[in-house]
Amino acid sequence: MNENVTPEDYQILVEFSSMERGGVEEVALTSMALEDIVDKSALAMQRALGAIKGMADKVTETIDKIHEKPTKVSVEFALKFDADANVYIAKASTEAGFKVTLTWEHKDKDA
C-alpha cells in the first residue's frame, strides 16, 4: 500500500435510487459518463456529511439542555440517496446507503 496516498486520492461513488411511490427503484447510471457519476457522488457525500453534522449538532444542543447529563448517549440513523443526489434519513436500515452511529461519552471532571 502506498503510504503517500491521502483521503483526497480516493473517490467514493454512491449508488442512487429514485423515490417511487411503491418503494425504491434503482437508477441506471451506466448511461452516465464516469465524470458525471463522480460529480454526483461527491455532491451526495457532501450532503450526507452535512446531514451527519446537523444531526450531531441537534443531539449536542439537546444534551446541553438536560440538567442531569447522561453518562453516554448514542444515536444511530441511516441515510439514503435519491437520483438527484439528495440525502434522506432512511425509515429502515434496509433502505440505507449507509448507517451512522454517533456516540457521546460524558467524562467525570473529578476522575
Based on the structure, what is the number of domains in the chain?
1
Q: Are strands 98-105 and 23-26 parallel, antiparallel or unpaired?
A: unpaired
25 contacts 18 by C-beta, under 8 angstroms: yes
Extended beta strands in the chain, E state: 17-20, 23-26, 72-81, 87-89, 98-105
Determine the pLDDT at residue 44: 87
Q: Domain residues for 60?
A: 9-105
pTM over 0.75: no
2 assigned to some structural domain:
no
pLDDT, tens digit, for every residue of 1-42?
445 545 555 566 666 666 554 454 444 555 667 788 888 888
Q: Which three cell numbers stand for residue 85?
A: 443526489
Model pLDDT for residues 36-66, shown as the tens digit of each residue: 888 888 888 889 899 999 989 999 999 999 9
pLDDT computed for residue 45 by the predictor: 87
Q: Please give the biggest Cα pair distance in the chain.
A: 60
